[in-house]
Amino acid sequence: MSPKDMKLYHPATFERGFPHEYFAYLRREAPVHWQAPAAAGEPNFDITKGFWVISKYEDLVYVSKNPKLFSSWRGLAFLWEMEEEMLHLQRLSLLNLDPPEHVRYRGLVNRAFTPRMVKMLEPRICQHAKRVVDAVAKKGSCDFVTELAAELPLILICELVGIPDEDRRKIFTWSNAMIGHTDPEYGDDPAIPTQAAMELYLYAGELAQQKLANPDDTLISKLLHGEVEGVKLTTDEFNQFMVLLSVAGNETTRNATSQGMRLLDANPEQFELLKSDLDRYLPGAIEEIVRCAPPVMQFRRTATQDTQIRGVDIRENDKVVVYYPSANRDEDVFTNPDVFDIRRSPNNHVSFGIGEHFCLGANLARMQLTCIFREIFSRLPDIHVVQQPRLLYSSFIDGIKEMRVEFTPER
C-alpha cells in the first residue's frame, strides 16, 4: 500500500468504513501526508485543491489548539470548496469563527449546554427515549437507524430550538441533504446541499421573528433575547447557529447510536459484559464507541502563514485536515488501539474535537446515548443485527443509513 493508492477526497474510499489499515500506514510512514487533488476530468466532489492529511494524535491536538496558525475562518472547517456567497454566509457560523469572535459567540451559546443544563434535561431525554423504544418494542424487528437511532436526536434538537412537531421531518430531510450530499440516495445534484442550507436558513429566520415577537423559555428565544457583555447575536449569526445545531446535533448522535449497536453486535463478549451491569459499564462503553467509530471523520483548517508540522513545510493557505478516527487509534497514545474494550481506561479520545471548537453538544450527546442505550438494552436484551449495515457514501461522516435488527418482542 502506498499513499498514492488512496483518494481521501473520494467517498468510495470510505465505502466499506474508515480505512484504518491505510491510516496506520500513514501514522507510521507519512504522518503529515500530502493528498493530491483529483486529476482534471475526474470527480472531485468540490474538493478541488490538495490537502495535508494529519493522522497522529499529537498533531491533531496541535493543529486544533492553534487557531492563530490554523484558521477555521479562512477556508471554513469543511474540506470542500464553496461559492463566494456561501463562504460569506458560512463565516458567520460558530464552527467557522476564529478567536476573538469565536470566544464572544461561544460565551453566549455555552450557557445553554453546560453539564448542569444537560442534567436538568435528563428526565425529558429519558422520557423521549422510552417513547422511541415503545414504538418498536412489540414488533420484534425494525430498522435500527430510522426507527431507533434517528428519532431521539431529532426530537431533542427540535425541542431545544422550539421547532414544532409538524416541521420535524423537514429538519431531517434538510440535514440529510446537507450532510449526505455526496450520496446519490440523497440526490446527486450539487445544488441540493446549498438549496437545503438556504431553506433551513430562511426557516430559521421566520422562527426567529416569531420568537422575537413572543419570547418563551426555549433555547432559541433565550439566545435571541440574551446578552453577554452587552452583545447580542445578529440575525444572520443566529440563523447560522440554527443551521449548525440542526445538522451537528442530528447526524452525529444518530450515527454514534447506530455505530454503537454495530460494534456491540460485532463484539458479543463485550455486549454481554455491558448488559451484565448497565449502570456500571455504560459510561465507558459510550466513550469506547465514539473512540472506535467517530461519526465525524475529519475537519479542516487553513494555514495562516508558512509553517511546519513535524518538519514538513506547510505554506500559507494550504488546507490542513485532521482525521479523528486515526488519532483515536494512535499506537503512541492508546494500548491495543484496534481492540474494542468498554473498560478502557484512560480513554482520552478526540471524537468531540479539542481546543476552541470542542463540541458544544458533547454533554448532550453523552446524555442522549446513555438514555437510548439504557432503554434499548434493558428492554430488548437479545437485540442483534440481521443484515449488513448500509453505509453513507461520504468522506466526511461515518454514517449508517440502514441496519435491520431483530429482538424478542416485548409483551
Angle between helices 235-248 and 151-161 (to 10 degrees): 160
The values of phi and psi at residue 314, to 5°, are: -115, 130
| Cβ atoms within 10 Å, residue 390 | 15
For the chain, give percent helix, strand, coil, nearest 5.
50, 10, 40
8, 364, 391, 403: which one contacts ligand HEM (CB under 6 A)? 364
For position 299 contacting ligand HEM by CB under 6 A, the verdict is yes
Q: CB of residue 336 vs ligand HEM: minimum separation in angstroms?
A: 22
Per CB under 6 A, does 352 bind ligand HEM?
A: yes
Listed ranges 169-177, 184-192, 250-258, 262-270: which one lies at the site for ligand HEM (CB under 6 A): 250-258
Q: How far is the CB of 188 from ligand HEM (least distance, A)?
A: 26
Question: Looking at beta carbons only, is 11 or 353 nearer to ligand HEM?
Answer: 353
Read off the C-alpha cell for 137. Answer: 418494542
DSSP 231: B
Per CB under 6 A, does 154 bind ligand HEM? no
Looking at residues 252 to 271 of the shown chain, list those that interact with ligand HEM (rule: CB under 6 A): 252-253, 256
- Nearest 10 degrees: Cα torsion 232, 236, 240, 245: 40
Orientation of helix 251-266 relative to helix 278-292, angle to 10°: 110
Q: Does 399 bind ligand HEM (CB under 6 A)?
A: no
Report the nearest approach of ligand HEM to the CB of residue 200 (Å).
Answer: 15
Q: Is 371 in the site for ligand HEM (CB under 6 A)?
A: no
Q: Counting contacts by CB under 6 A, is residue 294 touching ligand HEM?
A: yes
Phi, psi at 21, each rounded to 5°: -65, -45
Which has the closest alpha carbon to 325: 350, 361, 357? 350
Peptide bond into 184 cis (omega under 30): no
Q: Is 295 in the site for ligand HEM (CB under 6 A)?
A: yes
For residues 352 and 407, which CB has a smaller minimum distance to ligand HEM in the complex?
A: 352
32-35, strands of its sheet edge to edge:
32-35, 51-54, 319-323, 298-303, 70-71
Q: Least distance (Å) from ligand HEM to the CB of residue 140? A: 28
Span 208-247, contacts to ligand HEM by CB under 6 A: 244-245
Torsion of CA 330, 334, 337, 342, to 10 degrees: -140
Nearest distance in Å: CB 32, ligand HEM: 18
Q: Which of residues 47-76 bind ligand HEM (CB under 6 A)?
A: 64, 72
Q: Report DSSP letters for 263-308, one per residue.
A: HHHH-HHHHHHHHH-HHHHHHHHHHHHHHHS-SB-EEEEEESS-EE
Distance CA 12, CA 90 (A): 27
Which residues does 218 contact at the CB level (< 8 Å), separation at least 6?
A: 159, 160, 161, 162, 211
- Minimum Å distance from CB 74 to ligand HEM? 13
Q: Does residue 132 touch ligand HEM according to CB under 6 A? A: no
In this chain, which residue has its C-beta nearest to ligand HEM?
361
- Does 365 interact with ligand HEM (rule: CB under 6 A)? yes
CB of 42 to ligand HEM, least distance (A): 28
If one asks whether residue 117 binds ligand HEM (CB under 6 A), the answer comes out as no
Q: Return the closest-CA partner of residue 246 out of 288, 203, 282.
A: 203
Burial category of 315 from C-beta neighbours within 10 Å (exposed 0-12, middle 13-18, buried 19 and up): exposed
User: Which span (83-91, 338-346, 347-355, 376-384) binds ligand HEM, by CB under 6 A?
Assistant: 347-355
Nearer to ligand HEM, 211 or 301 (CB): 301
Residue window 14-43: x/- pattern of binding to ligand HEM, with contact defined by CB under 6 A: ------------------------------
**Binding of ligand HEM at residue 360 (CB under 6 A)?**
yes
Which of these segments, 6-14, 18-26, 330-338, 349-357, binds ligand HEM (CB under 6 A)? 349-357
Where on the chain is the footprint of ligand HEM (CB under 6 A)? 64, 72, 77, 94-95, 106, 244-245, 248-249, 252-253, 256, 290, 294-296, 299, 351-353, 357, 359-361, 364-365
